[in-house]
Structure 1
C-alpha cells in the first residue's frame, strides 16, 4: 500500500469509525447521566462505555500506525546507521518541542521480528524504558505477536 493510500485510509478511519465511536461514547454518557436510568442499566452502560473507549484507542493506534513513516532496518546493523537513526529521532522530538505547540507526544515503533517483547524480571531494557515513561507521567503499551512487536508511548508535553 502506498504512503498516499495509507494516509487516505487513516483519514477515512478517523472521519468515519473513530468519530462514530466517539459519538456513541457521548450518547452512552448522556444515558448514564439521566436521573431515571436504573442503577443496573447504569452499571451496564458504564461497562459498555469502557469497551467503546478501548475500541477508540485501538482505532487511534491503527490510524497512528497507518500515518507512521516506515523506516526499513534491513541495512541497519550498528555503528553509524544506528547513530544516524538516533539523531533523526532527536531532531524530530526537538521539532515537536520548538514548533508544534502540542500538549502530548506519541511515539510508535514497530518491527517485523519474532515477537516476545515484554517487561520481565532480569531484563532491564524495556523495564527501564517503562520506568522513564512513568517518570514523565506517560503511558506505554506493548503489542507483541509472532509477527513482530509494536510499542506505543504517549507522554504529556511539559511546559518547562
Structure 2
C-alpha cells in the first residue's frame, strides 16, 4: 500500500470509527451519571465502556502504525512481546491461586517514559481500570513524575 493510501486510510479511521467510539463512550458516561441505574447495570456499562476504550486504543494504534513507516518484523515483535507478557502475567496469577494461600496481592508496573499519566476527561483506559479494581475491593495508585510512571494495584485475594 502506498504512503498516500496509508495516510488516507488512517484519516478515514480517525474521522469515522474512532469518533464513533468516542461518541459511544460519552453516551455510556451519560447513562452512568443517571441516578436510576442499578448496580448491575452500572457494572455492565463500565464493562462496555472499558471494552470500547480498549477497541478505541487498538484503532488509534492502527492509525499510528499506518502513518509510521515501520517494517512488519518490528510490528510482529511488539505484538509478540505483549502476547508473551500477558501469558506470563496469567501464569503468575495462576501460581498465586494454586500455591500462595495469600489474603492480598500487589501488582506493580512501571516505565521510564515521559510520565504524565493520570485520569483525564474523555480518556477511559485508566479510569476503567481504576473502577474495575475498585469493584473488586482493591485500589489502584498512579505515580507519574517525569521521567516515568509507576502503577500499583492492591487487591484482597479471594478468587471465586
**TM-score normalised by L of structure 2:** 0.51
Alpha-carbon deviation of 1:146? 1.0
Alpha-carbon deviation of 1:79? 1.2
2-structure distance, mates of 1:108, 1:77: 24
Match of 2:61 in 1: none
Q: Structure 2 vs 1, CA of residues 156 and 88 (structure 1 numbering), >3 Å: closer, same or farther?
A: same
Match of 2:129 in 1: 129
Whether 1:151 aligns to 2:157 is no
Larger RCO, structures 1/2 (Cα 8 Å, 6+ apart):
2
Runs (4+) off by over 3 Å: none
Alpha-carbon deviation of 1:91? 0.4
Alpha-carbon deviation of 1:81? 1.2
1-structure distance, mates of 2:153, 2:83: 21
Say which one has the larger Rg. Answer: 1
**TM-score normalised by L of structure 1:** 0.51
Give 1:25-40 correspondences, 5 Å limit.
Answer: none
Q: Does the 8 A contact of 2:97 with 2:159 survive in 1?
A: no
Root-mean-square deviation (CA, aligned residues, Å) is 1.8
Match of 2:96 in 1: 96
Q: Structure 2 vs 1, CA of residues 145 and 77 (structure 1 numbering), >3 Å: closer, same or farther?
A: farther
Secondary structure of 2:85's aligned partner: helix
Match of 1:141 in 2: 141
Alpha-carbon deviation of 1:139? 0.6
Q: Does the 8 A contact of 2:138 with 2:153 survive in 1?
A: yes
Question: Residue by residue, what CA displacement relative to the aligned partner does 1:10-57 show, whole Å, maximum 9, x if unpaired?
Answer: xxxxxxxxxxxxxxxxxxxxxxxxxxxxxxxxxxxxxxxxxxxxxxxx
Give 1:60-79 correspondences, 5 Å limit.
Answer: 78-79=78-79
